[in-house]
Amino acid sequence: MTLVLFGKNQYLLSTNFGSAAGLTITPSQVNVSYLQLLNQSAEQPFETSLIRVQADNNSQVTQILTITSTDANGQTCTVPVITQSYFSANQFQAGIVDVPYAITIDGNTSITTPMLAGVTATYTFFPAEKVNTSKVLRGRSGQALTQYAAPTVPIVAQERPSSYPLLGNQFLKY
Domain membership flag for residue 96? yes
152 pLDDT higher than 90: no
Q: How confident is the model at residue 173 (pLDDT cuts 50, 70, 90)?
A: very low
Domain membership flag for residue 119? yes
77-81, 97-101, 112-116, 131-135: which range is least confident on average?
A: 131-135
Task: Work out the number of other CB atoms within 10 angstroms of the CB of residue 58.
Answer: 13
Rounded to the nearest 5 percent, the helix, strand and coil shares of the chain are 20, 35, 50
Question: Which DSSP string do the residues of 127-138 spell out, in sequence order?
Answer: EEEEE-GGGGGG
The Cα diameter of the chain in Å comes to 53
Give Rg (Cα) of the chain.
17
Domain membership flag for residue 160? no
Cβ atoms of 24 and 84 closer than 8 Å: no
Domain membership flag for residue 95? yes
Total domains present in the chain: 1
Domain membership flag for residue 140? no
Segment 66-81, tens digit of pLDDT: 999 998 898 999 999 9
Backbone angles phi and psi of 130, in degrees to 5: -140, 140
Domain membership flag for residue 137? no
Domain membership flag for residue 49? yes
CB neighbour list of residue 103: distance below 8 Å, 6 or more residues apart: 47, 48, 51, 67, 109, 111
- For residue 54, what are the domain limits? 2-129
Domain membership flag for residue 149? no
